């Protein structure tokens, strides 16, 4: 194999595909990226068997061929190339010679015959969606997914259609985030469960993409394609919990508060968290204030009062500090709504005039 291509093209592509390499003691080639030179393009491919990425870039092919190179080695080397326009890659004596105007480097190649193929998704369930819309949906909820290998159904993001909306949901049983995005109806899309570790990589790969991405799904696989990039992910073969039944239909106390006031109060409270990360809310309709309190016997305690518009009953309830703080990233408006349903009951957090995002936090009953 001998090819020449733009440094920035191959540098960006290897940086992305290297994310999908894996560690497997019985299949060492998974730590490699596969370079396939054919026709007028160079394909850069990597997979850890759960997630696969292939990127096609233009290249001047003097000699076609295939090589496997350790992904981290190639990525680290290419990232260090500065102020060079073109790079030549040539297989020499089972190694690859990388040549730029000012540098020559030899990198070891690995046998590629055992490199797995990336699934080609053939299905009638296919649709296009703006990349930024898809990213917004996933990023609004994915931090709520569980980190566990015991319950893969909740170590994931559930992505389904409800009438003319696409719905993204994640939960770890202690909190739940749901994001709804209006879209046209998609035929035969019954919902998929995407593993958390794969969806985080998919978000990183697609977050700076403008325009449409094409999504195809089968029972066990998802593919996303755009601009010469092809991503595949294994899907969870299971049933996502019937989460709608835990969302309270009523509220006893409603608070409208400035998001920044709440963030500031939380930052002050952070130093005084106990080992359970407990933060206490005391909501007083009489004084129109919300008191945020944390206490640590070894450090001290702090109370912060926030002015708020409050309706309903007085309520006092404890939550995990981190669970609430996480959701502020998904609140897009200056003000937010806190809906309480009594002591020791879940809290609902929403935007003031945008119902597309909902966040539920279970209380700490201590």
What is the structure's pLDDT at 163?
86
- pLDDT category at 366 given cuts 50, 70, 90 is low
| pLDDT of 23 strictly over 90 | no
Q: Residue 22: which residues within 8 A CB-CB, separation 6 or more?
A: 30, 31, 47, 48, 49, 50
Could you give the CA distance from residue 81 to residue 58 in angstroms, rounded to a whole number? 19
What is the structure's pLDDT at 129?
92
284 φψ region: left (φ > 0), alpha (ψ -120 to 50), beta (else): beta
Q: Which two tokens stand for residue 302?
A: 């702090």
39-61 average pLDDT score: 96
pLDDT in tens, 96-116: 999 999 999 999 999 999 899
- pLDDT category at 86 given cuts 50, 70, 90 is very high
pLDDT > 90 fraction of the chain, expressed in percent and rounded: 86
- pLDDT category at 25 given cuts 50, 70, 90 is low
What is the structure's pLDDT at 188?
81
- For the question of whether the overall pTM of this predicted structure is more than 0.85, the answer is yes
- Average pLDDT value for the chain: 93
pLDDT in tens, 172-225: 999 999 999 998 888 888 899 999 999 999 999 988 889 999 999 998 999 999
145-150 average pLDDT score: 89
Q: Which two tokens stand for residue 157?
A: 């993001």
pLDDT in tens, 224-279: 999 999 999 999 999 999 999 999 989 999 999 999 999 999 999 999 999 999 99
Place of tokens 């004084």: 287
pLDDT in tens, 282-301: 999 999 999 999 999 999 99
| pLDDT of 38 strictly over 80 | yes
Could you give the CA distance from residue 132 to residue 246 in angstroms, rounded to a whole number? 30
What is the structure's pLDDT at 208?
84
115-143 average pLDDT score: 90
| pLDDT of 24 strictly over 80 | no
């Amino acid at each position: 194999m001998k090819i020449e291509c733009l440094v920035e093209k191959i540098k960006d592509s290897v940086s992305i595909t290297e994310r999908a390499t894996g560690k497997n003691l019985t299949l060492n080639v998974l730590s490699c990226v596969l370079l396939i030179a054919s026709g007028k393009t160079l394909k850069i491919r990597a997979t850890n068997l759960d997630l696969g990425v292939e990127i096609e870039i233009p290249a001047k092919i003097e000699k076609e061929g295939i090589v496997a190179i350790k992904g981290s080695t190639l990525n680290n080397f290419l990232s260090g190339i500065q102020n060079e326009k073109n790079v030549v890659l040539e297989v020499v004596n089972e190694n690859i010679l990388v040549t730029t105007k000012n540098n020559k480097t030899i990198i070891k190649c690995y046998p590629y015959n055992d490199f797995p193929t990336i699934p080609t998704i053939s299905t009638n369930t296919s649709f296009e969606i703006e990349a930024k819309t898809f990213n917004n949906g996933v990023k609004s909820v994915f931090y709520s997914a569980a980190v566990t290998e015991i319950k893969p159904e909740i170590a994931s993001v559930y992505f389904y259609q409800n009438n003319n909306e696409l719905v993204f949901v994640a939960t770890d049983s202690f909190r739940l985030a749901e994001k709804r995005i209006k879209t046209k109806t998609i035929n035969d899309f019954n919902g998929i469960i995407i593993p958390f570790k794969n969806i985080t990589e998919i978000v990183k790969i697609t977050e700076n993409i403008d325009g449409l991405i094409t999504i195809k799904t089968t029972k066990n696989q998802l593919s996303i394609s755009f601009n010469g990039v092809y991503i595949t992910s294994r899907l969870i073969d299971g049933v996502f919990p019937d989460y709608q039944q835990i969302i309270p239909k009523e509220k006893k106390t409603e608070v409208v508060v400035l998001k920044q006031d709440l963030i500031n109060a939380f930052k002050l409270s952070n130093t005084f968290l106990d080992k359970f990360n407990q933060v206490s809310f005391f909501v007083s309709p009489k004084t129109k204030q919300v008191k945020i309190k944390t206490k640590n016997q070894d450090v001290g305690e702090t109370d912060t009062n926030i002015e708020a518009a409050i309706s309903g009953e007085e309520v006092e309830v404890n939550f995990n500090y981190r669970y609430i703080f996480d959701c502020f990233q998904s609140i897009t408006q200056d003000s937010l709504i806190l809906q309480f349903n009594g002591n020791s009951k879940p809290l609902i957090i929403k935007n003031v005039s945008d119902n597309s995002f909902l966040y539920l936090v279970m209380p700490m009953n201590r």
